[in-house]
């Protein structure tokens, strides 16, 4: 076993690379170089890149913090904002493929905290879980949109060469600049968060 090399060192190096260059830049070779060891030495601690990526997610999200909340809505608002804060620190996490499993303690911790908030609402356990996952999906989508708009070069919403004559409502929206506003990314996130919570409210008996 290579002296000084361990799972935590490997994971921290991989997270640092992803924070700087994105998830695509992470490979066993780049992580080994960052750690100062050979690529093969990493496999004594981490079986595969897939395992490494999930260890990165676990480290990046971390356990969900405890919430002091007044009712389910206040709790889920804190939950969504807290998850968004963690993801903004490590935006590459939105690029981790969804495979239908929850293989990390951090993911389970966040889900557990969401279920805690929903406890006592009168929903079944399955209904509560579905709504927490719905909110989780909104947070990930909101960050993906935020990152995309931040990194893309400025351009018009609708290319000027497109003919909108048969799309009257879109034409009016574009002419009146209905899709344009001066809201910050966080204001847009909060707006969507509150509308999602409105939908969840309609599901609670």
Determine the Cα–Cα distance for residues 18 and 61; give it in Å rounded to an integer: 14
Determine the Cα–Cα distance for residues 167 and 132; give it in Å rounded to an integer: 37
At a CB cut-off of 8 Å and minimum separation 6, what does 46 contact? 7, 10, 28, 52, 55
What is the span of the domain harbouring residue 99? Answer: 71-154+195-203
Residue 176 domain flag: no
State the DSSP code for 1.
-
Q: Note the pLDDT of residue 2.
A: 44
Q: Is 95 in the same domain as 139? A: yes
Domain boundary, last residue among 18, 33, 59: 59
Q: Note the pLDDT of residue 3.
A: 58
> Angle at which helices 49-61 and 7-21 pack, to 10 degrees?
80
pTM: 0.90
Residue 175 domain flag: no
Residue 168 domain flag: no
Q: Is 51 in the same domain as 77? A: no
Q: Note the pLDDT of residue 35.
A: 96
Residue 180 domain flag: no
Count: domains in the chain: 2
Q: 168-184 pLDDT, tens per residue? A: 999 999 889 888 888 89
User: What's the CATH code of the domain at 52?
Assistant: 1.10.10.60
Under-50 pLDDT residues of the chain? 1-2
Residue 187 domain flag: no
58-93 CB burial, b ≥16 within 10 A, e <16: bbbbeebeebeeeebbebbbbbbebbbebbeebbbb
Residue 128: which of 117, 141, 140, 139 has the closest Cα? 117
Determine the Cα–Cα distance for residues 39 and 64; give it in Å rounded to an integer: 33
Q: Note the pLDDT of residue 4.
A: 86
Are the C-beta atoms of residues 138 and 191 closer than 8 Å to each other? no
Residue 190 domain flag: no
Are the C-beta atoms of residues 133 and 127 closer than 8 Å to each other? no
Q: Is 87 in the same domain as 122? A: yes
Residue 17 domain flag: yes
Q: Note the pLDDT of residue 19.
A: 97
């Amino acid at each position: 076993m290579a002296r000084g090399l361990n799972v935590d060192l490997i994971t921290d190096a991989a997270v640092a690379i992803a924070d700087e260059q994105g998830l695509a830049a992470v490979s066993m070779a780049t992580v080994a170089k960052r750690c100062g060891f050979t690529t093969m030495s990493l496999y004594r601690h981490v079986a595969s890149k897939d395992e490494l990526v999930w260890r990165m997610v676990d480290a990046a999200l971390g356990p969900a913090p405890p919430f002091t909340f007044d009712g389910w809505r206040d709790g889920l608002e804190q939950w969504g904002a807290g998850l968004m804060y963690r993801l903004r620190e490590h935006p590459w996490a939105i690029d981790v493929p969804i495979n239908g499993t929850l293989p990390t303690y951090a993911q389970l911790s966040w889900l557990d905290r969401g279920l805690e908030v929903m406890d006592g609402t009168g929903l079944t356990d399955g209904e509560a879980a579905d709504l927490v996952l719905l909110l989780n999906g909104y947070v990930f989508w909101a960050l993906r949109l935020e990152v995309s708009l931040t990194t893309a070069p400025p351009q018009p919403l609708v290319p000027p060469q497109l003919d909108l004559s048969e799309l009257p409502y879109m034409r009016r929206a574009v002419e009146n600049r209905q899709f344009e506003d001066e809201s910050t990314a966080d204001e847009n996130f909060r707006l969507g968060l509150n509308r999602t919570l409105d939908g969840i409210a309609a599901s609670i008996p």
